[in-house]
């Protein structure tokens, strides 16, 4: 057989049918569901008298809307409460397992899938959320879908899909100290642009990627969508197996051995061909900060807000101008002089235990700048408890950070955690779009370490010069 890429192997293994003149039909192993993009899909099933074909391949939780104040308090926003109730009712009616708001497994959908061992190598995974690309870190094909497709998968467990193209992003060498997977992701998007990978599935390869922990790989794959990619993936290896083994829903005993043998065949064959190849020199990357209103508008923290004349294309220049006006920044301003009002450490990009550890290491023995309000929102209840076991919450609380309950929170501000108009935020989330964190709010994307440092300094600062206690 001709050499195949990781993507092609998973694609081929999931082809149910390739009808003449139609898009190929692929089988979906795992469908993750949350409260915001599913109510209309369940309604569609009801209208057409359809059932959920595979309830045990479907897992639901509530994350987007949930308040991050202590659990057990009533949900103040009646419309959010209604959406959460709708999911509870739909899961009951259609027999779909739900990790509800009061469950110890609750968390951001892209955090709990891996954490519970539900996400595994070689799978096809979809969710009505664009950051489903996160799960590709395990060597699965995972992508976001819209509500009509959610209904489609609920009803048929399949999706008609046009075969995407493949892109290899080969990260040579090693990341320097203080440069994280988040910076790698921002560096890639800054280079290829927010539409740079549209129509492609990215496979990340190279020494720097192999060296990343699972948490860091999830951060990298998570941000693939911000480059426009359909999905991002990394071939499973020892790091992957060590993470998955012994998780609650991981295969056990002989099943585990069989699964491992299958997963070990997934890596791209020597000679496997990609439609496009991009090489990145890891050592050339620095801690990044976004200055504009999309994740591609990004520079190293040591640099300045770009001059408008530096944009070759008229449309990009105008976009930069609009972005700077929205962000209230001047071209040429040093990034380190930008002060912040708020800091958010959380989201499916950077809310895992390792992210919290790295932020806590920065925060330890320091104090949040009195002008700044900073919050830490763990990605799941399990992470929250693990962090509390390690005493991370003490470090954050002593330093003046708020320590909240798990959920999407200020990543998209559907719950009460939002920016006020004009407030500027250092955020570990994935989108700095206009109004994403609250109308008129100004978001700068950074790594957890850079966010913690900004909270303490009151402005962006190069983490490589940090005084760790």
Partner 1 sequence: MQPFRKHTGEVVPLDRVNVDTDQIIPKQFLKRIERTGFGEFLFYDWRFAADGTEKSDFALHDPRYSKATILVAGKNFGCGSSREHAVWSLADYGFRVIIASAFADIFANNSLKNGLLTVTLTEPQVAEIMRRAAHTASYRLSVDLEKLTVEDDQGFSATFTMDDFARHCLLNGLDDIGLTLKHETAIAAYESKHPVRPEMSAILPGR
Comparing CB distances to ligand SF4, the nearer of 107 and 121 is: 107
- Coil vs helix vs strand at 172: strand
- Interacting residues with partner 1 between 403 and 422 (CB under 8 A): 412-414, 421
131 is a site residue for ligand SF4 (CB under 6 A): yes
CB-CB contact of 64 with 412 (8 Å): yes
Of 144 and 300, nearer to ligand SF4 (C-beta) is 144
Stretch that binds ligand SF4, among 10-18, 20-28, 229-237, 404-412 (CB under 6 A): 404-412
Tokens standing for 350?
């950077």
Query: Does residue 275 sit in helix, strand or coil?
Result: coil
Does residue 219 bind ligand SF4 (CB under 6 A)? no
Cβ atoms 114, 138 nearer than 8 A: yes
How many residues line the site for ligand SF4 (CB under 6 A)? 13
Does 408 engage in binding with ligand SF4 (CB under 6 A)?
Answer: yes
d(CA 216, CA 218): 5
Under the binding rule (CB under 6 A), the answer on residue 412 touching ligand SF4 is yes
51 is an interface residue for partner 1 by CB under 8 A: no
Q: Which is nearer to ligand SF4, 9 or 64 (CB)?
A: 64
Rounded Cα distance between 74 and 195, Å, is 41
Under the binding rule (CB under 8 A), the answer on residue 255 touching partner 1 is yes
C-beta of residue 167 within 8 angstroms of C-beta of residue 274: yes
User: From the list partner 1, ligand SF4, none, which binds 108 (C-beta under 5 to 8 Å, kind-based)?
Assistant: ligand SF4
Listed in sequence order, the residues at least 6 apart from 397 whose beta carbon sits closer than 8 Å to its beta carbon are 403
Task: State how far the Cα of 85 lies from the Cα of 345, in Å rounded to an integer.
Answer: 28
241 binding partner 1? (CB under 8 A): no
> Interface mask (CB under 8 A) for partner 1, residues 52-71, using x and -?
--xxxx-x----xx------
d(CA 235, CA 136): 9
Q: Which residue has tokens 């009460």?
A: 416
In the stretch 119-148, what mask flags binding to partner 1 with x, by CB under 8 A?
---------xxx-------------xxxxx
Nearer to ligand SF4, 5 or 427 (CB): 427
As a whole number of angstroms, the distance between CA 345 and CA 404 comes to: 10
Can you tell me which of 69, 71, 88, 157 binds partner 1, judged by CB under 8 A? 157
Q: Does 348 bind ligand SF4 (CB under 6 A)?
A: yes
Provide the angle, in degrees to the nearest 10, between the axes of the packed helices 448-457 and 353-363.
Answer: 30
Cα–Cα distance measured from residue 331 to residue 320, given in angstroms and rounded to the nearest whole number: 10
Q: Quote the CA–CA distance of 231 and 197 in Å, as a whole number.
A: 9
254 scored as a contact of partner 1 (CB under 8 A)? no
- Give the nearest distance from C-beta 149 to ligand SF4 in angstroms: 17
Query: Which residues of this chain interact with ligand SF4, rule CB under 6 A?
Result: 63-64, 108, 110, 129, 131, 347-348, 408, 411-412, 429-430
């Amino acid at each position: 057989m001709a050499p195949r890429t990781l993507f092609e192997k998973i694609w081929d293994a999931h082809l149910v049918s390739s009808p003449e003149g139609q898009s190929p039909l692929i089988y979906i192993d795992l469908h993750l569901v949350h409260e915001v993009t599913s109510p209309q899909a369940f309604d569609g099933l009801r209208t057409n008298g359809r059932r959920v074909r595979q309830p045990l391949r479907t897992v639901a939780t509530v994350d987007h809307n949930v308040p991050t104040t202590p659990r057990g308090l009533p949900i103040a926003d009646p419309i959010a409460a209604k959406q959460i109730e709708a999911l509870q009712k739909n899961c009951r009616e259609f027999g779909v397992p739900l990790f509800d708001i009061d469950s110890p497994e609750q968390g951001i959908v892209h955090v709990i899938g891996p954490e519970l061992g539900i996400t595994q190598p070689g799978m096809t995974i979809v969710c009505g959320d664009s950051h489903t690309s996160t799960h590709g870190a395990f060597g699965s094909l995972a992508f976001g879908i819209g509500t009509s497709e959610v209904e489609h998968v609920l009803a048929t467990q399949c999706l008609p899909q046009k075969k995407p193209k493949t892109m290899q992003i080969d990260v040579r060498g090693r990341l320097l100290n203080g440069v994280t997977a988040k910076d790698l992701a921002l560096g890639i998007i800054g280079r290829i642009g927010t539409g740079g990978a549209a129509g492609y599935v990215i496979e990340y390869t190279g020494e720097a990627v192999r060296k990343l922990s699972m948490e860091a790989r999830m951060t990298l794959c998570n941000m693939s969508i911000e480059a426009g990619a359909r999905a991002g993936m990394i071939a499973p290896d020892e790091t992957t197996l060590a993470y998955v083994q012994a998780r609650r829903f991981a295969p056990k005993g002989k099943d585990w051995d069989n699964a491992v043998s299958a997963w070990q065949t997934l890596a791209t064959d020597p000679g496997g061909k990609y439609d496009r190849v991009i090489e990145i020199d890891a050592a050339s990357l620095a801690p990044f900060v976004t200055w504009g209103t999309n994740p591609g508008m990004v520079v190293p923290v040591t640099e300045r807000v770009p001059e408008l004349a530096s944009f070759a294309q008229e449309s990009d220049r105008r976009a930069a101008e609009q972005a700077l006006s929205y962000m209230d920044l001047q071209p040429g301003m040093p990034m380190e002089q930008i002060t912040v009002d708020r800091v958010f450490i959380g989201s499916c990009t950077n809310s895992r235990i390792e992210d919290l550890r790295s932020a806590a290491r920065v925060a330890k023995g320091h104090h949040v700048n009195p002008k700044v309000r900073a919050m830490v929102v763990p990605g799941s209840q399990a992470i929250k408890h693990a962090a509390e076991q390690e005493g991370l919450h003490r470090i954050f609380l002593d330093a003046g950070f708020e320590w909240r309950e798990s959920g999407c929170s200020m990543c998209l501000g559907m719950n009460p955690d939002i920016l006020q108009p004009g407030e500027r935020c250092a955020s570990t989330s994935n989108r700095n779009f206009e109004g994403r964190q609250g109308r008129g709010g100004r978001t700068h994307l950074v790594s957890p370490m850079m966010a913690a440092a900004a909270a303490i300094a009151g402005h962006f600062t190069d983490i490589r010069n940090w005084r760790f206690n």
